[in-house]
A and B are shown apart, each in its own frame.
Chain A
């Protein structure tokens, strides 16, 4: 392999593409690969779990459960369904929502009623340029939505509320909530999927 290929490889490393190879190694039973994947995307998993659950202890348990599940189910990963980081985040979110539903929704609905999203934590100093750019693009796509669509999507994704729960929490008609989610998701897909998916 000559230098040109090495630069391509560097680009792959910077873009997180190496994580797919890590998942293949995890499926073969290599614990070091799981550690490397955890180093790469554990921060994202923790972030989404913490945002949904609002409790560091619960979030830590969910992240643990998620990576143990990845260890068990790595062979089920399919690259065509999305990047590894998004796959891990989706698994984390699903587990966090399960926990929310076990816990009961009263406290969650109360939080949502405030309609003020929690302040995001500061990005870590070690955040890569690629990660910073990804975050900026997704943030810009969300910011481009009409405020009511954006907030409805945030309540669904980051607070784990169903459409009915959003309607109850906000006092909006259920039909209105459904329309906002449908339109918001279509716009997000238009602006993000081709660019980042």
Chain B
């Protein structure tokens, strides 16, 4: 196949609309060392083909689709090296799970096994974090006893359909965090090892409402309990809808202006 012939077919190759023999010939041509713009033509056609998926309105899959995905990845997740993957912050969530496992009756594991499809999300976290959960269980168990918020986080994690979202550090901030979000999106609790307030600084929670240009709404301060920092995004504010959650570093007592002073963490919700 010549370069000119390939470029005639690049669009059809990108659409996966070539017959098997033509497709094989076109692929073989692409792997040759010298070209007159063939890779570029194919990349451009591929980009156009991929955009076509956006022409259709989205169709929300039924809940059972996610439950099936969660059940299938839980088996894979248990084989991953969680410690390498997630570090200490994941350990905080793992430890919350350990508290779940410790705090509930001994039959929880078998209950989860029996109701795998129904509780797939919770099981995924449990399966992927057992090792660090053991390491951190004692630490979080203390938090569980002393903090009503930790207990709320545990209850939220147990809730069917709840999920964990990761915060992305902003502006070079050197730590991360997770939030447990309830199934209805009306409750979110932050977990972190690195946001403990100091004598001079508080960390403040913010809810970013949907809609371009919507101003962040203050949603409470981070507290520390048992070595874990926790933050309860005010349910009343969250109930009005949220595009993202954020945390800012503030002078003691919270933002003096009503707007975030220095945003350090952000998590998008349903981007």
Contact = CB atoms under 8 A, between A and B. Distances in A.
Interface stretch (B15-23, B111-119, B141-149, B224-232): B15-23
Given A30-B86, A86-B50, A120 B61 contact: no
B243 A13 contact: yes
Nearest to B68: A64
A178 interface: yes
Given A10-B243, A18-B271, A178 B8 contact: yes
Interface in A26-56: 28-36, 38-40, 42-48, 50-51
Q: Which of A10, A59, A163 has the most CB of B within 10 A?
A: A10
B45 interface: yes
Contacts of B243: 10, 13-14
Contacts of B1: none
Nearest to B178: A32
A138 B50 contact: no
A135 B124 CA distance: 34
Contacts of B55: 135, 138-139, 142
A109 interface: no
Interface residues of A, number: 93
Interface string A133-166: 0110011001000000000010011101111101
A171 interface: no
B98 interface: no
B50 A182 contact: no
A1 B271 contact: no
Given A63-B65, A71-B76, A189 B47 contact: yes
B77 A31 contact: yes
Q: Of B12, B72, B90, B264, which is in contact with the most chain A CB atoms at under 10 Å from its CB?
A: B12
A63 B243 CA distance: 24
Secondary structure of the A side of the interface? helix
Interface of B: 8-12, 14-19, 43-62, 64-66, 68-70, 72-74, 76-77, 80-82, 85-86, 90, 121, 124-125, 128, 163-166, 168, 170-171, 178, 208, 210, 212-214, 216, 243-244, 246, 259-260, 262-264, 266, 268-271
Q: Give the 5 A-B CB pairs with smallest separation, nearest first.
A: A185-B11, A43-B58, A89-B53, A32-B164, A29-B85
Interface of A: 1-3, 5-7, 9-11, 13-14, 16, 18-19, 21-22, 25, 28-36, 38-40, 42-48, 50-51, 59-60, 63-64, 67-68, 71-72, 81-82, 85-87, 89-90, 92-94, 97, 120-124, 127-129, 131, 134-135, 138-139, 142, 153, 156-158, 160-164, 166, 178, 181-182, 184-186, 188-189, 192-193, 196-197
